[in-house]
């Protein structure tokens, strides 16, 4: 009986030894790789279309509502901001589809903004309405010149529904 137990014990030892040998000769499981870090954020680089929508179109519309409400102080501010937006855009994107952006805005926008400035300074609603209409047509002409004839602008129609959170009438 002792022989049988000894044999079983020796077999168990031999089997354990072979498992140990196999375990030592097998390649180690590679450690889980750390995930790659995300790429660094890219700087915001808006295109001309983005800048026109973010900076110009909104101010063009607000200028209309301020002038229509005869809030000449707000209209002057919006006209000034609109002009400043054009300046920033021309410095950011000097050429678009081979066209000189500053020159285009100088031809299609600046003369009309000058007329708006005069109408606002004179508190003249009739001159403002005409100058604003001309500015709006100038925007559409500039879009066509810049190879985007499908971007047609218009004088806002009806009451202000775009900026329900801002008062456009003059302060008492």
Tens digits of residue pLDDT in 102-153: 999 999 999 999 999 999 999 999 999 999 999 999 999 999 999 999 999 9
Q: Is 96 helix (H, G, I), strand (E, B) or coil?
A: strand
In this predicted structure, the answer to whether residue 21 has a pLDDT above a threshold of 90 is: no
How many domains does the chain divide into? 1
Residue 22 placed within a domain: no
Write out the H or E segment, with its range, that includes residue 104: helix 101-108
Look up the CATH number of the domain holding residue 74: 1.20.120
Q: Which two tokens stand for residue 105?
A: 């805005």
- Give the per-residue pLDDT at 162: 86
Residue 85 placed within a domain: yes
Q: Which two tokens stand for residue 38?
A: 């995300």
Q: Which two tokens stand for residue 45?
A: 């680089």
Residue 58 placed within a domain: yes
More confident call, 4 vs 94: 94
More confident call, 171 vs 142: 142
- Give the per-residue pLDDT at 6: 59
Residue 170 placed within a domain: no
- Give the per-residue pLDDT at 34: 84
- pLDDT (average), residues 153-170: 88
Domain that holds residue 91: 48-145
- Give the per-residue pLDDT at 161: 83
Residue 35 placed within a domain: no
In this predicted structure, the answer to whether residue 9 has a pLDDT above a threshold of 60 is: no
Residue 89 placed within a domain: yes
Residue 108 placed within a domain: yes
- Give the per-residue pLDDT at 116: 98
Residue 169 placed within a domain: no
Q: For the segment 31-84, what is each residue's pLDDT rounded down to a tens digit?
A: 678 889 999 999 989 999 999 999 999 999 999 999 999 999 999 999 999 999
Nearest to 141 by CA among 113, 98, 109: 109
Q: Are 131 and 114 in contact (CB under 8 A)?
A: no
């Amino acid at each position: 009986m002792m022989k049988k137990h000894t044999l079983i014990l020796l077999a168990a030892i031999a089997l354990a030894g072979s498992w140990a040998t196999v375990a030592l000769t097998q390649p180690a499981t590679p450690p889980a790789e750390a995930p790659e870090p995300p790429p660094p954020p890219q700087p915001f680089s808006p295109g001309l279309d983005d800048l026109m929508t973010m900076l110009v179109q909104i101010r063009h519309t607000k200028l209309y509502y301020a002038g229509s409400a005869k809030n000449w102080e707000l209209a002057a501010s919006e006209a000034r901001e609109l002009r400043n937006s054009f300046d920033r855009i021309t410095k950011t994107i000097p050429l678009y589809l081979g066209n000189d952006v500053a020159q285009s805005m100088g031809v299609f926008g600046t003369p009309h903004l000058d007329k708006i400035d005069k109408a606002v300074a004179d508190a003249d609603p009739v001159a403002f309405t005409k100058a604003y209409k001309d500015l709006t047509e100038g925007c559409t002409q500039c879009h066509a010149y810049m190879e985007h004839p499908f971007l047609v602008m218009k004088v806002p129609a009806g009451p202000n529904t775009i900026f329900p959170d801002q008062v456009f009438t003059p302060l008492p």
